[in-house]
């Protein structure tokens, strides 16, 4: 489960699990500070849900976020089948939601886009309007869904007794997994991304060092050749 702070990831996780497994609080600040894993049986399968700290949490540094990401991947070994991006329909669509997919791509790699699935909550807010119509009427939201390869579903967390909505979600995830040839997102993909970033960073520092050394050398030559 991914989403900005206050998106209702914990509540959504409880709806999927069919019980109060994750702590919930109507607080604008992040309730979840660490990754948490819970399991349940739905039909003949075991479903594992991982709740994560809010994206763009101002109370957490970028380095902390990275360590949480690594912990999340360790907890989902051998790897997650889907990244559920949770978005509330009863709140204004903001730049943070727009940047969510970009955040996933930046931290998990471009390949992670194949595993991203938009999960809308508070569907009852639409009243007589369908979710499809709501998406079509909002260009930013439409582009966001397109960036997730058109994969989306809605849940009513206020109607937790309706487990049919969860079954429908799992069926859609199953189809996505089939399109991904049954594969899950693996830690090796993340490791390759991390190594690439480290190489780029090291290369950048190396080049900066060479430039500084050149500047210092030139400065020394100029000073040495100056006559007073």
SS3 readout for 30-55: CCCCCCEEEEEEECCEEEEEEECCCE
Check whether residue 85 and residue 194 sit in a common domain.
Answer: no
Check whether residue 69 and residue 163 sit in a common domain.
Answer: yes
Domain-embedded: residue 129: yes
Q: So what's the pLDDT on residue 27?
A: 57
The CATH number linked to 40 is 3.40.50.300
Domain-embedded: residue 2: no
Check whether residue 110 and residue 163 sit in a common domain.
Answer: yes
Domain-embedded: residue 151: yes
Of 92-96, 105-109, 144-148, the range with the highest mean pLDDT is: 144-148
Q: So what's the pLDDT on residue 19?
A: 92
Domain count of the chain? 2
Q: So what's the pLDDT on residue 87?
A: 92
**125-139: average pLDDT:** 89
Check whether residue 181 and residue 167 sit in a common domain.
Answer: yes
Q: 186-209 burial string, b = 16+ CB within 10 Å, else e?
A: eeebbeebbeeeeeeeeeeeeeee
Domain-embedded: residue 4: no
Interhelix angle 62-75/100-108, nearest 10 degrees: 70
Check whether residue 89 and residue 197 sit in a common domain.
Answer: no
- DSSP letter string, 74-126: HHTTT--S-EEEEEETTS---HHHHTHHHHHHHHH-GGGGGGEEEEEE-GGGG
Q: How confident is the model at residue 32 (pLDDT cuts 50, 70, 90)?
A: low
Check whether residue 170 and residue 205 sit in a common domain.
Answer: no
Domain enclosing residue 201, as ranges: 186-228
Domain-embedded: residue 214: yes
Check whether residue 34 and residue 121 sit in a common domain.
Answer: yes
Check whether residue 64 and residue 170 sit in a common domain.
Answer: yes
Q: How confident is the model at residue 191 (pLDDT cuts 50, 70, 90)?
A: low
Check whether residue 206 and residue 101 sit in a common domain.
Answer: no
Check whether residue 193 and residue 93 sit in a common domain.
Answer: no
Check whether residue 53 and residue 106 sit in a common domain.
Answer: yes
User: How confident is the model over 60-100, as pLDDT tens digits?
Assistant: 777 777 777 777 778 888 889 999 999 999 888 888 888 88
Nearest to 173 by CA among 146, 203, 194, 152: 152
Check whether residue 171 and residue 219 sit in a common domain.
Answer: no
Q: What percentage of the chain exceeds 90 in pLDDT?
A: 30
């Amino acid at each position: 489960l991914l989403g900005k702070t206050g998106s209702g990831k914990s509540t959504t996780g409880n709806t999927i699990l069919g019980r109060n497994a994750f702590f919930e609080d109507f607080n604008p600040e992040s309730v979840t500070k660490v990754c948490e894993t819970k399991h349940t049986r739905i039909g003949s399968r075991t479903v594992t849900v991982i709740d994560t700290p809010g994206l763009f949490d101002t109370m957490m540094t970028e380095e902390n976020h990275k360590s949480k990401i690594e912990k999340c991947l360790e907890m989902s070994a051998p790897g997650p089948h889907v990244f559920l991006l949770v978005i509330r329909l009863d709140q204004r669509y903001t730049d943070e939601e727009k940047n969510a997919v970009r955040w996933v791509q930046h931290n998990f790699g471009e390949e992670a886009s194949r595993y991203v699935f938009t999960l809308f909550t508070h569907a009852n807010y639409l009243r007589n309007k369908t979710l499809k119509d709501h998406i079509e009427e909002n260009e930013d939201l439409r582009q966001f869904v397109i960036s997730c390869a058109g994969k989306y579903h809605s849940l009513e967390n206020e109607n937790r007794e309706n487990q049919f909505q969860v079954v429908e979600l799992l069926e859609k995830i199953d189809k996505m997994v089939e399109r991904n040839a049954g594969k899950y997102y693996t830690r090796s993909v993340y490791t390759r991304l991390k190594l690439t970033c480290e190489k780029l960073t090291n290369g950048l520092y190396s080049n900066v060092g060479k430039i500084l050394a050149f500047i210092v050398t030139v400065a020394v030559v100029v000073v040495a050749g100056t006559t007073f």
